[in-house]
Structure 1
Amino acid sequence: MAAWAADQATKVWAVARLDGHDPITLIPGALSLRFLRNPGAAFGLGTSMTLLLSLVAIVVVIVVVRLAPRLRDRTWTLAIALLLAGTLGNLTDRLLREPEPLHGHVVDFLDYGGLFVGNVADIYLTVAAVLILWRSWQGVALDGTPAPAGDDDE
């Protein structure tokens, strides 16, 4: 809940301080604060699919909540918590921001050297993806036990 709140607080700040203003350079060529409202997904993809992105986010939240009771491994717990916080952070924008519910535009303000503009929820989602891939590659199940081996009989 604290991670979601941090994401939302930074977005409220971005709307109040960055909307309608010139970008603020933090690290020349690498990081600046630049306000934009994103109707799509990462890298400006799917701008016409806001409703679908909202519905996918709702499904992700439901799946994560259903997985939560099985978590016994700290790394998996952190990964799933970050996945939930990031998904809920951007879903909150899609539900509550203009132009209308389920079609709202996500507030982005972290400009990574002109490559893409994101937000704190996107950082959570990226770290979650790395942790999920890492733990899966290690063969660790949600409960911390070795994951069942795949079928090698080909």
Structure 2
Amino acid sequence: MNDGDDARTTAPAPEAATPPVTSVADAPGEPGDTATRSSAAPLRRRRAGYVVLLLACAAFAWVLDQSTKLWVLSTMTEGQVTPVLPPLLRWHFIRNSGAAFSFGEGHTWVFTLIMVAVALFVLTVLVRRVASWWWAIALGLLLGGTLGNLTDRLFRDPGFGVGHVIDFIALPNFAIFNMADSAIVGGVITLCVLTLLSIGISGQRETAREKRTDLDTDATAADTTAEDGPGRLR
């Protein structure tokens, strides 16, 4: 053996490659799923709250309307007039086959179909889109009032679908109405105010300046696309 062999150094053995450690948080799809679940849960709770408020307002309006009509039926006779706050307010019990101011008498079934359509539209379309507390209140009043008068149309004399609505609230030089009518009018007025304030059913308010900005952005994007497109056509 040569002396040079003793001085020769031995190269260290190559280390085994260490596989990258993949944490559970880095697993494909997991972070996004977790974030989605965490952000979707509060949204679902808020939407459930809007629906509950809408249905609660509808139930309140319906119960108030039907209970006052039962009170009128049990304490008054048809045509009876009872002064309450003369000369501003009195109870005047009538049965109405038409709309306000007795409009449309003889076409009761038309109003029945309209009420059914309104109730179904609120329950099947708008209730899934509402994301505003004020919209929920307005739609709830509209739904409850509609169902209140619809109950009369369906189950009171003279027959199913053509029943006469019980009215009893009388003001000077105005139509005789009931609590369902009041709920409908209140809901419609609230919806009109929200619309004038540019507050949509999503609860977001869009100003005229924001609308112009969006239109300008869309126009700029369209021009850019036209310039960069094939053949630079405009």
What TM-score, normalized to structure 1?
Answer: 0.92
Measured in 1, the distance between the counterparts of 2:152 and 2:179 equals 13
Compute the displacement of 1:69 (Å): 1.7
Please identify which structure carries the higher strand content: 1
Measured in 2, the distance between the counterparts of 1:40 and 1:147 equals 39
2:129 corresponds in structure 1 to 70
Please identify which structure carries the higher helix content: 2
Compute the displacement of 1:2 (Å): 2.4
Query: Secondary structure in 2 aligned to 1:140?
Result: coil
1:10 corresponds in structure 2 to 68
State whether structure 2 residue 164 is matched by structure 1 residue 81. no
Measured in 2, the distance between the counterparts of 1:36 and 1:57 equals 20
State whether structure 2 residue 119 is matched by structure 1 residue 54. no
Measured in 2, the distance between the counterparts of 1:5 and 1:26 equals 22
Q: Among the aligned pairs, what percent are the same residue?
A: 32
Q: Deviations over 1:94-127 (max 9, x none)?
A: 0000001110000000011242110000110110
Compute the displacement of 1:38 (Å): 0.3
Measured in 1, the distance between the counterparts of 2:81 and 2:195 equals 39
1:134 corresponds in structure 2 to 193
Measured in 1, the distance between the counterparts of 2:102 and 2:139 equals 25
Contact 2:78 2:95 in 1 (8 A): no
Contact 1:18 1:33 in 2 (8 A): no
Contact 1:57 1:88 in 2 (8 A): yes
1:125 to 175, 184, 198: 184
State whether structure 2 residue 153 is matched by structure 1 residue 94. yes
Q: Which piece of structure 1 moves more, 83-92 or 108-117?
A: 108-117
User: What code does the residue aligned with 1:135 have?
Assistant: L
Q: 1:47 to 1:21 in 2, by over 3 A?
A: closer
Q: Which piece of structure 1 moves more, 73-82 or 110-119?
A: 110-119
Q: 1:133 to 1:21 in 2, by over 3 A?
A: closer
Q: 1:38 to 1:21 in 2, by over 3 A?
A: closer
State whether structure 2 residue 92 is matched by structure 1 residue 38. no
Compute the displacement of 1:55 (Å): 0.2
Measured in 2, the distance between the counterparts of 1:25 and 1:136 equals 38
Compute the displacement of 1:21 (Å): 6.5
Q: 1:83 to 1:147 in 2, by over 3 A?
A: farther
Q: Which piece of structure 1 moves more, 89-98 or 17-26?
A: 17-26
Compute the displacement of 1:146 (Å): 3.0
Kindly tell me the number of residue pairs found equivalent between the two proteins: 151
2:163 corresponds in structure 1 to 104
User: What code does the residue aligned with 2:107 have?
Assistant: M
Compute the displacement of 1:52 (Å): 0.4
CA RMSD between the two structures: 1.8
1:25 corresponds in structure 2 to 83
User: What code does the residue aligned with 2:183 have?
Assistant: Y
Determine which structure has greater relative contact order: mean sequence separation of CA pairs < 8 Å that are 6+ residues apart, divided by chain length: 1
